[in-house]
Structures are given as structure tokens and as C-alpha cells.
Amino acid sequence: MRSMMVLLLSAGLGWSVPSTAEDLFVATPLTAERGFTAGIEGPAVDVAGNVYAANFGRQQAIGIVTPEGAAREFALLPGASVPNGMRFDREGALYVADYVGHNIFRIAPGASTPQLYAHEARMTQPNDLAITADGVLYASDPDWEHNTGRVWRIDRGGKVSLAADGMGTANGIEVSPDGRILYVNESEQRNIWAFAIAADGGLSNKRLLRRFEDFGMDGMRVDVDGNLYVSRFGKGTVVKLAPDGALLREIRLPGARPSNLCFGGSDGRTIYVTEVEHQRLLRFRVDRPGLEWRRIQGRQ
């Protein structure tokens, strides 16, 4: 009787009653504390739903975590290289930014041995990666000492070219669903910029999408509608922004220092967050799938 009354009342007032009791935008831990180092970063999700994150158990190691939270070491970068941002392409290859060796590594589908894909000695420290529908990479490159930064483009053959210079501490980076806009944020300056991507991959028409008055920013990812999820490092939240930069929602996390995030889950509506304070992965459910998840699943 009570359910019927609620339905009748909501219909009369124009309310929307959810079809399930699922809690959206509520963050909970996925892995145990201290399973990763303070360098926990990444993350990226494969076609089977496993989450890959940087510096599992020790620096240089990439961890693999099942959707249920079981974690183990997956790969180890060679030499002194240390992983940071990671992305999968449509074929299932994993690309890893090495912020120590100025490299981008590639791990082939079904393999676990990193192979050098691109090297650029002029890089300060390749940080996060964005990937286009056709597999072109963009890498943010902050210079924390001088509060400056750049963006590099890496084509499908591993050739590196400078895409944007004269920035602040470039960090989070993402491509819009239509492939026409590259978003780059500056952690120290607290700006999010939008660049137009030309047919040749060049960047132009830089414009300010949003500026925050406090706290830093780190990783960014878009959903299939072009909404931008941004981790607020130091504030302990993830914000959801509309494509025009309007603030739609702020999600509180159990940890003050989220570094990066990605979409996954069986339907692409689970966001995984790497969190530095407790050195663990968090997760929360959202209303729309992530763009990268949909592409990896072959649906876009």
C-alpha cells in the first residue's frame, strides 16, 4: 500500500522514481589500505573489467585488480622507470607513461612485458595520457619545479611531437567524445583548458573551460555524453562537469588525495579512483557509461 501511495504521489507531483535502489555517486573502498605505494596512479580497465593501477606493492610495478578487489602484480617496468598514467586502446594494448625515463611503454594484448613505444628526451615527466578513437596519444608533461608544462602528441607509430607549450603544471588530460576537443588541466593554477584538435592532430583555439578557487586537480575522464569527471586532489572529491564547464555534481571520497580515475564495471558505469592518502582504489557508481569503456567494448 505504501509503495502504491508513493507511486501515485510522485506521478502527481512529476517526480521521477528510480527503477532500482542502486546508490549512485557513493564512494567506497575496493582494495585494502597500503596495497599500493603513495605513487598509486593510472588507472585503466580492460575488456574483462579488471583494473590496472600503477605502483602496486612497490614502485615500478603495475597491479591488476579484479572487479571484486583481488589484487596482484601484473607487470614491472624496466630499469628505473616508474608508471603513471595508463590507457587501453581498442585492440587491448595498454599504454603506460613513464615519468622518470621520458618514455611511453606499450604492453601488447595478452602480454605482460612492457615494450618501449616512444621516447622523448625533452619531456620533463610524461604524466597522464589521453587517447583518441584512432589510437593517437596525448601526454601531459608538468614541470613542477618551475610551475610550467606542455602537451605532447604520440602518433600510432610512436613518433612524438610537441602539441602545446607555455602551460602551467599540465596534468589531467582527456579527449571529447566527438574527438574535436582536448581537455587539459593545470594542477597548481587550477585551470581546465579546452583545445580544438585539428585534422592533423594539432591543437589550437585554447580557451578556459573552468577555474577552481581552491585545491588542486589531477586525472580527468569523460562519459559518453561528454561530461567531464575531474579528481580534486587535496579536497577529497571528484567533480562532474558539463561539456560547457558547469558544475553538475561533487562526489565526496573516503580519502583526501584522489590522483586519477577511469570508468569500468559490467556496464561502464563504475568509476574507479586511485587515492593517495590511503594508497588504495575506490569506486562509485554513476548514471552514464564512460567513453573509453564503450570504445574498448566495441560499441562506439
1 CB burial (10 A radius; 0-12, 13-18, 19+) = exposed
Contacts for 136 with CB less than 8 Å, ≥ 6 apart: 153, 154, 155, 156, 201
Per the domain annotation, does 9 fall within a domain? no
Mean pLDDT by 10 residues, the chain (300 residues): 38 39 92 98 97 98 98 98 97 97 97 98 97 97 98 97 98 98 98 97 97 97 98 98 98 98 98 98 98 87
Q: Is 18 within 8 Å of 267 (Cβ atoms)? A: no
Q: How far apart are CA 46 and CA 67, in angstroms?
A: 11
Q: Given CA atoms 31, 34, 35, 39 in this order, what sign does their dihedral have?
A: positive
Q: Give CA–CA dist 17/257, Å, rounded.
A: 34
- How many whole angstroms from its chain centre is CA 93? 16
DSSP 183-228: EEEETTTTEEEEEEEPTTS-EEEEEEEEE-SSS----EEEBTT--E
Domain count, the chain: 1
Is residue 150 in a domain?
yes
CATH number assigned to the domain comprising residue 44: 2.120.10.30
Within-domain flag for 11: no
pLDDT digits (tens, 9 = 90+) for 161-214: 999 999 999 999 999 999 999 999 999 999 999 999 999 999 999 999 999 999
Q: For residue 18, what pLDDT is reported? A: 41
* Residue 99: inside a domain: yes
Say which amino acid occupies 157: G
Locus of grid cell 574527438: 179
Q: Residue 76: inside a domain, yes or no? A: yes
Classify residue 197: in a domain, yes or no: yes
Beta strand pairing call for 170-175 and 181-186: antiparallel
DSSP for 51-115 reads: EEEEEESSTTEEEEE-TT--EEEEEE-STT--EEEEEE-TTS-EEEEETTTTEEEEE-TT----E
Position 2 scores a pLDDT of 39
Q: Are strands 103-107 and 94-98 parallel, antiparallel or unpaired?
A: antiparallel
12 domain residue, yes or no: no
Q: How far is CA 93 from CA 18, 85, 86, 108, 111, in A?
A: 37, 14, 10, 5, 9
The confidence score (pLDDT) of residue 16 equals 36
In a domain, 3, yes or no: no
Other beta carbons within 10 angstroms of residue 207's beta carbon come to 10
pLDDT of residue 300: 62
* 129 Cβ neighbours under 8 A, 6+ residues apart: 85, 86, 87, 95, 97, 104, 137, 138, 139, 140, 173
CB atoms within 10 A of CB 289: 21
Q: Which domain holds residue 160?
A: 26-296
Cα–Cα dist 283/26, whole Å: 8
Q: What is the pLDDT of residue 14?
A: 36
Q: What is the pTM of this model?
A: 0.92
Residue 36: predicted pLDDT: 98
